[in-house]
Amino acid sequence: MSQLVVIGGGPGGYAAAFYAADLGMQVTLVDMELNPGGVCLYRGCIPSKALLHVAKVAGEAKHAANWGLTYAEPTIDLGKLRGFKDSVVTKLTSGLGQVSKMRKITYIQGKASFVDAKNLSIEPAGGGAAQSLAFEHAIIATGSSPTRIPGLTIESDRVMDSTGALNLPDIPKTLLVVGGGYIGLELGSVYAALGTQVTVVEMTDGLLPGADRDLVTFLARRLETTLHKILLKTRVTGMKDAKNGVTVAMEGEGLADADKSQTFDRVLVSIGRRPNSKVPGLDKTGVAVNDRGFISVDAAMRTSEPNIFAIGDVVGEPMLAHKASHEARVAVEAILGHKVAFEPQAIPAVVFTDPEVAWCGLTEADAKKQGRKVEIAKFPWAALGRALAIDRPEGMTKLIIDPETERILGVGMVGAGAGENIAEGVLAIEMAALASDLKLTIHPHPTMSETMMEAAEVFFGHATHVYRPKKK
């Protein structure tokens, strides 16, 4: 009998298992991989950021010509590049395996199926007879998988999802990225930096649907120079194998007849992710799944089966590793009888393109949809000493502020290293900080972090480095 079994070893699952063990619970963690880590470490966040770092270095080498430093075109050793990416994954996942043992967690490499609300059957990853496991409580943390285009995705080695793209099978001459969200733009940027001619197709009228347009504008301008084409209001209507690639049929506003059928060496389909809620035997429990495929939970992450909890991608958006990790702590504390709820005021989102785009809390677009009166304060990075010193002035920091209370409701950033600075915005929102709090907080100079302080000063009409008097 296990006091707690966690199904899924990703950032939600292993965080739950580790925290529960720290609090004295007897824990079993079940996952198909050799060590904890999940999609994030094995096939998502970590390998993609390793490759994005390589892309950043390649981009900076080219950009250095503006400063009088000229480098030869890089020679790409694809095997060594794969090795670097894989070594990062191995170090992190093996480290988690060691930490799991130190916490005396029982780790089972296998696939779990529910027998009922108190028992599991676990099929070992290496084959062999299934083992039974009785439990008092369970946390489902099975994550998500790439979404496929219904009726369009073909079985071809040349058509990749994010997992296939991260394997770097080769450096294609041409690549079509279907979907202008963060996954498509991040991986498209990697391949473009390696020398691939990348075309992005997006059904909506802008990249990164959901992010404020003024933030996306800075990224779109740069991508127009690094990518081959960005086709908005365009959709893929068909794909078929060709002799030397994949022929793709497209429809879209302003798309010339000659461009409606194109052949690409490879196609990356990145139109989102779907929850892995089809856990075998789940129907033998009282756990409910909604019409979008997410497991239904309350604020304490408890499902409709009282002793079974669920966290992470499988319970709803945003599908982000850091959200899952925090939900994990709530679930564990609820199991231990604490009065807790997952009620964040701000969950940060970061797109690790170049420039990075990051935001948290209320967006300007959402404020308009809600009919909520807000005041926007923007500070342009072109007026920031640090941004000019590193020759990256393209960027902006914006604050969404309640005009009556002057409380910070949302923060958005775009520019070099925006993802490293958005956490201050999250803290400001969670602490119910006022614009004056940010203004009065002394920030180190010269740094990118100063943009938070300067944006707050803009709100009051007396920013040091831009002249924007307060409207009366």
Residues belonging to the active site: 445
- Tell me the pairing of strands 131-140 and 308-310: parallel
- Tell me the pairing of strands 174-178 and 375-380: unpaired
Percent composition of the chain: helix, strand, coil (DSSP 3-state, to 5): 35, 25, 40
Query: To which H or E segment does residue 470 belong?
Result: none
Looking up tokens 């856990």 gives 279
| C-alpha span between 251 and 467 (Å, rounded) | 46
> Running DSSP on this structure, what letter comes out for residue 32?
S
Distances (CA, A) of 368 to 59, 100, 459: 37, 46, 19
Looking up tokens 């420039």 gives 355
Separation of CA 313 from chain center: 11
Query: To which H or E segment does residue 268 belong?
Result: strand 266-269
Measured over the CA atoms of residue 275, residue 276, residue 280 and residue 281, the dihedral's sign is: negative
Three-state DSSP state, 421: helix
Phi-psi region of 132 (alpha: psi -120 to 50; beta: other; left: phi over 0): beta
Query: To which H or E segment does residue 379 belong?
Result: strand 375-380
Three-state DSSP state, 3: strand
- Judge contact between 451 and 466, C-beta under 8 A: no
**Torsions phi, psi for 121 (to 5 deg):** -120, 125
Report the candidate in 138, 155, 149, 219 with the shortest Cα–Cα distance to residue 418. Answer: 219
Residue 41: both structure tokens together = 């470490």
Q: Which residues 6+ apart lie within 8 Å of 208 measured at CB?
A: 180, 181, 182, 185, 216, 219, 351, 357
